[in-house]
Amino acid sequence: MAFEHTAKAFDDDLQELTRLVSEMGGLAERQIVESLDALIRRDATLGDRVVAADSEIDQLQRMIEERAVLTIARRQPMAVDLREIVGAMRVAIDLERIGDLAKNMGKRVVAIDSDFRPLKLIRGLEHMTDLVRSQVKSVLDAYAAHDLPAAMAVWKGDEEVDAICTSLFRELLTYMMEDPRNIGFCIHLMFCAKNIERIGDHATNIAETVFYMIEGQQIPDKRPKGDMTGFASAAPGN
């Protein structure tokens, strides 16, 4: 009877961790969408809301970490049960960083004062964001369902995000060389593109966590990455 009670209590703890991660993931997905909307529409109010909402994601990450540590201390789980708890903490860390990246994009809305808004660049940024948001949603669904093939599909798709980012970067360089007045706007967009690419990296991290939870080891293969050498060498902050 005592064992059954302990097992049920542990299951309840895991369910609560999963619920908190799901709530955090939903907020992070919304942050990705709203940060881009604010940027494209130059909606400073929405940008401020994205920045303010990051504290809610941070709070959830702390709650997940505290509950996970408490569960480990009380239940002393082993093997797959322990990996479930460690996995929840790892996913929460990646979601918190996704929130930070979206917040950084929200902060740039008020800084962009240029009327220069080439449709090709905006469409490229939208396409890249749609792809990354889809990856985040898919990998969170894979985490909740313990769906390894779905997680691996996200892991393998990171290369496509890198390719779009590199293409967008080249377009930005072209616009900056054509007219120095475009430099300020293009630099801001460059930061945003890099933030979106990094969000894709965090989705890939979550896919690797799903693999670890299910298989009990790290993915043996090298992570697929597009050619970002040109971007990395000339992107702001590097």
pLDDT in tens, 212-221: 999 999 888 8
Distance separating alpha carbons of residues 15 and 96, to the nearest angstrom: 20
Flag whether 205 is in a domain. yes
Quote the number of domains for the chain. Answer: 1
| Each residue's pLDDT tens digit, 97-128 | 999 999 999 998 887 766 667 778 888 899 99
Flag whether 57 is in a domain. yes
Domain of residue 44, CATH code = 1.20.58.220
pTM here? 0.88
**The pLDDT value given to residue 179:** 86
For the record, the structure tokens of 4 come out as 């059954």
Confidence of residue 6 (pLDDT cuts 50, 70, 90): low
Distance separating alpha carbons of residues 231 and 136, to the nearest angstrom: 23
Flag whether 44 is in a domain. yes
Flag whether 86 is in a domain. yes
Q: 69: how many CB neighbours lie within 10 A of its CB? A: 12
Flag whether 16 is in a domain. yes
Flag whether 237 is in a domain. no
Flag whether 221 is in a domain. no
Closest CA relative to residue 229, chosen from 148, 169, 183: 169
Query: What range does the domain containing 172 cover?
Result: 1-215
Alpha carbon 88 to its chain centroid, in Å, reads: 15
